[in-house]
Structure 1
């Protein structure tokens, strides 16, 4: 059975004796959650000073590299030795083929009372291995033989990965991330989670079903790969009525600023309602016109929301954010998200007046804001699918979801649409659990059919714009 020796983040041992056990317990719980999500079982675990010893029924080393609170993790083999010679011979037998014809180094760490030092052990092991190798190289070895000794037990590392560090998720409260799914907000959520915070996702539906669909995929990927120890939630809010009012009542140069302010206000109301400690955004100083330092300051003052706002990416430039997106495995998903909040056809003010912003906010009907808050729908990220999300957003799509069944309902099928089937070929009972997208010339007939099937419990949609849209998205 695979055994691991896990080095915890350097911050954990520095906690006070009163709080340290809570951090360790939470880390062990999160590791257990990771193991179970990988389809494995924990067969044993034990805290050994600043280490965690773990046994599972299958290899989960790659998963340990994505648990916050883990500094380093290694697959190990163990041995209860009698003396230094016994220890050295055991290490030799297990590593002589590994160092064959290669430059090597031996690293030994020791804890407990022994008749030898760590250096004594490293030298003795090195003496035995040297004849099989190309020599010792302590600066740039091709192979490192790493041994950890604790009392009478030796741990020989066979494979090692670095962890993300940080704090175990769950030791620092709950945060609600304003989540578009693009590059910025997922990276901001990741950095917040790294500090031990349970992060949930607040997504504003702004009229683009594709943006919502792919934003959920990003949230699911982030949650599956990194967020252990709890069940993240995806909160969907219909923001279209707010946008309509902003377009009617706010001058062009102030629209983006006021829109951002209203996002804060709605998020603040939801945070208070659902007991979140903070809001998190992916804002970076000066990255967009509405994110200048002056505008960020004006927006926060004008909204007057009580919930604190954290901005983990405030000092990052776009290239750094994208690089982190690649590093944590989200880039292929975030790159498909189209930002849907641009509603100003002209230049946006970079130095908004707080009084004007406040007046514009006051002009928005309070009933619209309350209706928007009450429109929220909460989805468990792990048990939900992106189709479940867009079903609640709209019956019309501006894209074709993955694995959807496309049904061409045009009367003239002389030029059939690629990767589609005709209405006459469909057995709807076989498609009960499938996503169905109807396509017609303009989107009118397909909308009627989608509504009819939606009433019967199907995940049915109409492609907005009909054939023209299909040719663009396929």
Structure 2
């Protein structure tokens, strides 16, 4: 019988509140494996143990398990009887398909009453594997590690451990709304906050039909990709072009970018309130562009009704690109598009805006009406992972759904 055994990351340090984190991991696991009928899901010490159905392949189980925040590592393990002969036979079976030339055996005993200690089990099983398969023992850098876990009910044997997503389970620290630009930075920022246990919805500001729909399509593709780590997401598409035109017609050129960003945070705050989010997440990095100077970020943030979290603020572009490549969002993010951030961009934007000057410029606008218009015309797309019937139905709809008073 096969089991997915996940080992907790930070959850193991949570003391009396650990049960909340464990319950959230279990729920997230059920969501990400929603298209399979899993067996018993239980927590045993620092481990999460899940019985895997026959129709779920090892490859799919490993691919899905790697998406679950809260697990430091995991293995696809096989249960066997709690005697050294059965354990050795199972270890040989697990190792027999490997192309490794060197190996090691690592044993952990949840049940300390087992007759042999961990070192004795390692030696006994290792000797059997070496004799049967001809592998060489290498305790420092083995190409294959056979993992054995002695539990109260059975012994569990696997051919190595795979890295987990780490962090905290999505949803355990609250709910946020991420500003998803379609560029390289914002998906990385969103993923980093999801890894800290924040469940996210997404908002994208676009200038369609003034420009092409390419940025909307990219944002939808990135939202669908990020949904793999949290099973369900909502993307809100805000038409921003007409609002930008109004700003351009009534504001001096240098301040336009600061005003764009302040209006984005106002609109995002209104949407966050509707979806139950309590923080906003952006992909800003200090000094990267004109709107991201220290002075401008301070002025822009004053327009938000919720705290603004900037997980990339101290990272440089190369670091962000490296993470985007690992996240596999980079290829989508670099597709050409025409986003609203570059529309009506002044040649020399202000880099040290003063709040008094900005507020004086904004006094020319009917801010509540502009925010209400943007929220009222926002469209909604929903995403599920794994794909479900509701997602298929939504994909067949000719247009994204409009945001109603109770949405999302």
- In the superposition, the TM-score normalised over structure 1's length comes to 0.75
CA distance in 2, matches of 1:290, 1:387: 37
SS in structure 1 opposite 2:261? helix
1:299 aligned counterpart, secondary structure: helix
Map of 2:185 onto structure 1? 184
Q: Which residue of the partner structure matches residue 118 of structure 1? A: 118
1:102 matched to which residue of 2?
Answer: 101
State the distance in 2 between where 1:14 and 1:43 align. 27
Pairing 1:379–2:381 present: yes
CA distance in 2, matches of 1:2, 1:135: 27
Per the alignment, in what secondary structure is the counterpart of residue 127 of structure 1?
Answer: helix
**Contact in 1 for aligned 2:225/2:329 (Cα 8 Å):** yes
Offset of 1:374 from its aligned partner? 2.2
Q: 1:362: which partner in 2? A: 363
Question: Aligned match of 2:214 in 178, 200, 210?
Answer: 210
Go from structure 1 to structure 2 and tell me whether the alpha carbon gap of 1:221 and 1:2 turns closer, same or farther (over 3 Å shift): same
Secondary structure in structure 1 of the residue aligned to 2:285 = coil
Aligned partner of 2:23 in structure 1 is: 25
Pairs aligned (count):
382
Distance 1:349 1:386 in 2: 44
Instruction: Call closer, same or farther: CA 1:89–1:202 in 2, change over 3 Å.
Output: closer
Structure 2 CA distance, aligned partners of 1:174 and 1:252?
A: 36
The aligned runs of 1:136-151 (5 Å cut-off) are 136-151=137-152
Deviations along 1:274-299, one digit per CA (max 9) or x if unpaired, are 33110111111111111111110122
Cα distance in 2, alignment partners of residues 377 and 92 from structure 1: 54
1:29-428 matches, cutoff 5 A: 29-36=27-34, 39-57=35-53, 58-59=56-57, 60-82=61-83, 85-87=84-86, 89-91=88-90, 93-95=92-94, 97=96, 102-112=101-111, 113-131=113-131, 132-151=133-152, 153-158=154-159, 160-207=161-208, 208=211, 209-223=213-227, 225-228=228-231, 231-301=232-302, 303=303, 305-336=304-335, 338=337, 339-342=339-342, 343-366=344-367, 367-382=369-384, 383=391, 384-385=394-395, 388=398
Change (3 A) 1:196 1:346: same
Following superposition, the deviation at residue 96 of structure 1 comes to 6.4
2-structure distance, mates of 1:320, 1:31? 30
Please say if residues 241 and 340 of structure 2, whose CA atoms lie closer than 8 Å, have aligned partners that are also in contact.
Answer: no
CA change 1:308–1:50 in 2 (3 A) is same
Please, what is the CA RMSD of the aligned residues?
2.3
Asked whether the 8 Å contact 2:129–2:135 carries over to 1, the reply is: no
Question: Conserved in 1, the CA contact under 8 Å of 2:204 and 2:235?
Answer: yes
* Structure-2-length-normalised TM-score: 0.87
Partner of 1:276, secondary structure, is coil
Would you identify which runs of 4 or more consecutive aligned residues in structure 1 move more than 3 Å?
A: 95-101, 384-393
CA gap 1:191/1:154 in 2 versus in 1, 3 angstroms? same
Q: Partners in 2 of 1:387 and 1:184 — Cα distance? A: 30
Q: Per-residue deviation at 1:346?
A: 0.9
Distance 1:121 1:329, change over 3 A: same
SS of 2:313's partner is coil
- Whole-Å Cα distance in 2 between the matches of residues 387 and 134 of structure 1? 57
Conservation of the 8 A alpha-carbon contact between 1:268 and 1:279: yes
Shift of 1:53: 1.1
Question: SS of the counterpart of 2:40?
Answer: strand
Q: Indicate yes or no: 2:11 matched with 1:15.
A: no
Q: 1:363 aligns to what SS in structure 2?
A: coil
Which structure's CA Rg is the greater one? 1
Mean CA deviation greater in 193-202 or 148-157? 148-157
Change (3 A) 1:388 1:333: farther
